[in-house]
Structure 1
Amino acid sequence: MIFKIDNVKKSYKNGEVTEEILKGVNLILREGELTSLVGASGSGKSTLLTIAAGLQPASDGQIIFEGKNLTSMNAEQVRKIRAHQFGFVFQFAHLVPFLTVEEQLLLMLDVSESKLKIREQKKEVDKILKLVEMDHRKHAYPSSLSGGEKQRVAIARAIIHRPKVLFADEPTASLDSKRSKDVMTLISHLTKTLNIATLIVTHDEEMLSFADHIIKMSDGQILQKV
């Protein structure tokens, strides 16, 4: 176990009413395993992912990463863990339009405060691009890439600094069926190959076959773990 979500709750004040978004969620992520969160819109799955990733605070409960309690850390400590140890993939690739594929990844290494020298960074970029089968597009700009290619670059950018946990929020929602399966095949392969603990939010039940564990959520609670 590398990552534990322990009795996490999230609520908001709406006037005189308190709205409960998460009602005490418990979840464990392990290295080399892909866990999928599924549920209807409003079930709390995206809120859970953003809290787990340190992008917003929980109202109660703990987020434990490698034995450290993120919920007791200050914002800068959480930022460093997020930058160094976590990777993120979203529904849209959000690539920088004026940077080449290679430059997108080099920028991520800079953000993650890589200690590698520039020559070593470029070697690492080549290695990761080969892993995601995008090495032939190293010098391309985002405008010349297909939707599937953009998402492959986004995945490469998310893992270039060798994170221990990968968070993906609807990573196939903007893709057609074939490209969705290609992207999920890639994420599953990288999860195993790089020994990453991966948490994915998805509404597409066809993508669940790639998961090692399926967590069904409803109304801020976990209904079923498979």
Structure 2
Amino acid sequence: MTIFTLDEVRKTFTTGEIEEEILKGINLSLKEGEVTALVGASGSGKSTLLTIAAGLQPPSNGHVVFDGKNMTSMSSEQVRKIRASKFGFVFQFAHLVPFLTVEEQLMLMLEVSESKLKKYEQKREVNKILKLVEMDHRKKAYPSSLSGGEKQRVAIARAMIHKPNILFADEPTASLDSKRSQDIMSLIQDLTKSLNITVLMVTHDEELLSYVDHVIKMSDGMVLQSGN
């Protein structure tokens, strides 16, 4: 089932008297429970497309439709609530809060997403997902004591603890070596299937494409190719 659609999305940035069209009429759809990768050279528009899809900035023209609702016609507060409760985010760096333990990072995410779970239920969910990412033995640890791969595992758990419909990932393995990159991608693949989460991911690493269901190749603000 299609859960997310971009319809003729365009984005133009203006600097002084110069206008530059970064996205030039993008159309794409994401199906529930599938992983889609955006690939292309630097400057092709991948990250801009991801941020617009995630509601972090509006398109200049076109429509962003999530679960049958047109996000481009919503207020900024309505979009914020969707981001907090329905979307998850993983970036190149984990961006963990330095003074919170692993467990506390995830509890904070449940609070931000306005979880309806009671405290004991929240802790149970935290323990469950930390086991899935093999970090339950470090739940009392602070970020300063974690390796790069461990930090990214915690970031993934944090992004998925509230069971979002869509995970947006911008170069989630770029700061890791090849082995850890493959471990993280395998983890994302496994979690998205078990939790039925849809993923839109920007990556430059072609070795990771074997872990995704669909690949969308971009160039100069346009989709050149879309396929398995």
- The equivalent residue for 2:66 is 65
CA RMSD of aligned residues (A): 0.6
2: CA distance between counterparts of 1:115 and 1:225? 38
Where do 4+ consecutive residues of structure 1 move more than 3 Å?
none
1: CA distance between counterparts of 2:130 and 2:216? 31
Displacement of 1:18 after TM fit? 1.5
Q: How does 1:192-203 map to 2 (within 5 A)?
A: 192-203=193-204
Residue type of the alignment partner of 2:44: S
1:155-211 Cα deviation digits (max 9, x unpaired): 000000000000000000000000000000001111111111100000111111111
- The equivalent residue for 1:173 is 174
- The equivalent residue for 2:8 is 7
Displacement of 1:31 after TM fit? 1.2
- The equivalent residue for 2:92 is 91
1: CA distance between counterparts of 2:32 and 2:103? 27
1:133-169 Cα deviation digits (max 9, x unpaired): 1111111111111100000000000000000000000
2: CA distance between counterparts of 1:15 and 1:124? 50
- DSSP 3-state at the match of 2:164: coil
1:100-130 Cα deviation digits (max 9, x unpaired): 1000000000000111111110000001101
- The equivalent residue for 1:219 is 220
Give the unaligned 5+ runs of structure 2: none
Q: Report the TM-score, using the length of structure 1 for normalisation.
A: 0.99
- The equivalent residue for 1:81 is 82
- The equivalent residue for 1:204 is 205
- DSSP 3-state at the match of 2:38: strand
1:114 aligns with 2:121: no
2: CA distance between counterparts of 1:189 and 1:211? 11
- DSSP 3-state at the match of 1:2: strand
- The equivalent residue for 1:52 is 53
1:127 aligns with 2:128: yes
Q: How many percent identity over aligned positions?
A: 76
1:5-54 Cα deviation digits (max 9, x unpaired): 11100001222221000000011111110000000000000000000000
Residue type of the alignment partner of 2:208: M
1: CA distance between counterparts of 2:29 and 2:163? 20
2: CA distance between counterparts of 1:16 and 1:87? 36
1:73-100 Cα deviation digits (max 9, x unpaired): 0000000000000000000000011111
- DSSP 3-state at the match of 2:23: strand
- The equivalent residue for 2:191 is 190
2: CA distance between counterparts of 1:109 and 1:146? 24
1: CA distance between counterparts of 2:226 and 2:149? 30
Q: Report the TM-score, using the length of structure 2 for normalisation.
A: 0.98
- The equivalent residue for 1:157 is 158
1:40 aligns with 2:45: no
